[in-house]
Amino acid sequence: MDYQQEYKKKLVSADEAVKVVKSGDWIDYPLGIGGTNELAAALARRKEELCGVKLRPVLPVWPNYCMEVDPDENHFSWNSRYFSSKERHYHQQGLLYYLPMQFNELPSVVTCLAPDVFMATVTPMDQHGWFNWGASASVSRVSARNARKVLVEVNTNMPRVLGGNSEAVHISEIDYIYESTNPPLPSLNPVTPTETEKCTAVHVIEHMRDGSCIQLGQGGIPGAVGAMVAASDLQDLGVHTEIYVEAFLEMTEAGKITGRRKTIDPLKQVFSLAWGSKRLYDFLDNNPGLASYPFDYVNHPGRIARNDNVVSVNTAIEVDLLGQICSEPVGTGPISGTVAQLAFMEGAYRSQGGQSFICLTSTSKQHDGSLQSNIKPVLTRGAIIACSRSASPVIVTEYGTADMRRRTTRERAEALINIAHPSFQDKLISAAKQMKIWR
């Protein structure tokens, strides 16, 4: 095949490319920066020609053009597989629907619910006819294989991320190519942790050892853990994580990450997607120390467990005295989705020497400025239980750790009250007595 000739045949304008979309179609996008910008804008321009088009993104970070031009959903509907900050606004207006799942299921979900059209931002084609998915190999390969039509938006700013088995798409699998104006990729600057979050992170660092294989979620506490690891004496750490964030770059630059002791994918930092600063994207580009895999590889509990000394660090919104964990909405207000938390808790539990930590600050401010305890007798009404009490790992606040494993309900209540804010401990004890889990 003459790849350059094939490229010219498939190269079209954005408006021409999106003509493949028909009324009633399902349209899928990759996660994060792998979504499209100018193709999505071109689709929005077709609003009056279409009805019943169902958009199915994951953690979208480019503008939501179709929702902006059709706020009443007469032409497009938004069906999210993970809430981003951009999407919470639409949910509050009743314009967004959520598809709950664990992300290790997402490739199989896409296979069962195949899209009509798949649109993705990719790197320029190489000399062998391959386009790289960049920082979003998480589900892109399976989406492209199952879609009726595949459209790619070439952006020279997308890093070429090396991978294990699903990091690229060949020109023979693509229907139309659009060369974008190369806008800068959406960036996410690191969250500056508060002093309370730093105090919480200290209790995680105390349990880590040389050779640990790390997974970090997003937010201030995981960021604080990364900064503290970078400044610590820990050595020969490995990485097997769902999302690659700035903290891993900081630890790598400090010489803490080598991957020498990993049981699978030694010497490689394994992940599914990345989102961060331009500095992070530059670090990802053609870096042979990194390997991007799809979700059903990275988030598979059995595969996670094959590495020894897995340390999983995620966050929660609130925890109750039975050990139930809420990491998604509190009440009916959307926050995020399930993502990797359950898979990595299970994987770390199965790992030889593995440890899983769910971190939260002991209190949070209400709208009137008063404090409320994030450790509660029972979860807020309507709260989504991300982790049941039977699977709870180690809960961490700025006041210490509470290990839920192999503990009775009375022992759990006592351990959690010990790491609650002192101002709320008496109330929690009274509630625990009424629940018959305190003596």
Non-local CB neighbours of 197 within 8 Å, separated by 6+ positions: 220, 221, 224, 361, 398
What whole-number distance in Å separates Cα of residue 178 and Cα of residue 12? 6
What whole-number distance in Å separates Cα of residue 291 and Cα of residue 22? 36
**What are the C-alpha distances in Å from 292 to residues 126, 278, 285, 331?**
18, 18, 12, 35
Per-residue tokens: 251: 């630890």
Phi, then psi, of 360 in degrees rounded to 5:
-160, 150
The one catalytic residue in 87, 197, 242, 318 is: 242
Burial class (CB in 10 A: 0-12, 13-18, 19+), 218: buried
Burial class (CB in 10 A: 0-12, 13-18, 19+), 368: exposed
The helix (H) or strand (E) run that includes residue 44 is: helix 38-45
Angle between helices 246-253 and 220-230 (to 10 degrees): 0
Residue among 139, 136, 128 nearest 170 (CA): 128
Catalytic, 206? Answer: no
CB-CB contact of 81 with 295 (8 Å): no
The dihedral through the CA atoms of 396, 402, 404, 405 has a sign that is positive
E-state strands within 127-276: 130-132, 149-154, 168-170, 176-179, 213-216, 238-239, 243-244, 269-271, 273-274
- Give the CA-trace dihedral at 419, 240, 119, 282, to 10 degrees: 100
What whole-number distance in Å separates Cα of residue 381 and Cα of residue 370? 20
CB-CB contact of 336 with 343 (8 Å): no
Non-local CB neighbours of 170 within 8 Å, separated by 6+ positions: 129, 130, 131
What whole-number distance in Å separates Cα of residue 64 and Cα of residue 56? 12
Non-local CB neighbours of 5 within 8 Å, separated by 6+ positions: none
Q: Which residues are catalytic?
A: 242
